[in-house]
Amino acid sequence: MIRVLETMRGFVLFAVVAVISFSLMGEATEGSHVSANSQISRVASFADQVGRGHSTYMEQCSTCHQEDLSGTDMVPALAGSAFMARWNGKTAKDLFSQTSMTMPASSPGSLTQEEYLNLTAYILQANDITPPQDLTVDSLASVTMHQKD
């Protein structure tokens, strides 16, 4: 009987140590996971930005600017030769600033900075402009739009 009690006490002690160890490992892993997720969200790829920008565009912009970015008689196109003629020589920062100050027309400036960055990425991609890096507020000025000959 004493052996059984000693074995059970050893098992209980082992179980307590295991639970504490797994709990501590979980906290470390969870902390690392949050850190990694934060880093991933800060350094999204341009393709991911374009994808998110497309989603935001469809929700916030396509009603006026059309699903294909072609615009209308009253609303400017956001892709194609007319767009490029208007924005030729300007930077992505100019586009970002203009968009974030004036759009959506019903509620200018109401989107997040990330949503405006993603929209800018989507519009650039729609015009065959791929920056050398992911778009950030700091990198916008280094991306110049040029009309192709």
Q: Model pTM?
A: 0.70
pLDDT digits (tens, 9 = 90+) for 30-60: 444 444 444 444 445 999 999 999 999 999 9
pLDDT digits (tens, 9 = 90+) for 53-97: 999 999 999 999 999 999 999 999 999 999 999 999 999 999 999
**Cα–Cα distance, 92 to 141 (Å, whole number):** 6
Whole-number pLDDT of residue 83: 97
By the 8 A CB rule, do 82 and 89 touch? no
Whole-number pLDDT of residue 119: 98
**Cα–Cα distance, 86 to 92 (Å, whole number):** 13
pLDDT digits (tens, 9 = 90+) for 95-133: 999 999 999 999 999 999 999 999 999 999 999 999 988
